[in-house]
Structure 1
């Protein structure tokens, strides 16, 4: 069996797992928390500090983590 045939067979076997992985990524990206974390990642620490916020505090707020943890 030549390398192209082996590669083709491996691609065919991996296709369902690739599709499932892409679907799970789409689900995660559609989550409102994920979108909010993405927005937060684009804000500088200086901008957060100017608003009296911390990155850690904002992550806790977004994820719904209680402050006593």
Structure 2
């Protein structure tokens, strides 16, 4: 009897809400991966890796670079 109690304790019942949400969660993960793979995100990663001193030496600001990267998509 002890064995079945341990097995029953680890068994998760079917969760209808979780099953219904799974395709939407998967689609959301796909959209995030797609956005992160884009060229804008690569430019943002490079910008984040650049120090403020390096930007200042080139006469640039972090805010100005974000505006340049997203200029055709957003009014920042």
Distance in 2, matches of 1:18 and 1:63, equals 27
SS at match of 1:53: coil
Count matched residues.
Answer: 62
Q: Deviations over 1:2-22 (max 9, x none)?
A: 9821xx424322211211111
Instruction: Give matches, 1:1-69, under 5 Å.
Output: 4-5=12-13, 8-9=14-15, 10-64=17-71
What TM-score does the superposition give when structure 2 sets the normalisation length?
0.67
Q: Specify which structure has the higher proportion of helix.
A: 1
What TM-score does the superposition give when structure 1 sets the normalisation length?
0.72
Q: Which runs of 5+ in 1 are unaligned?
A: none
Q: Which runs of 5+ in 2 are unaligned?
A: 1-8
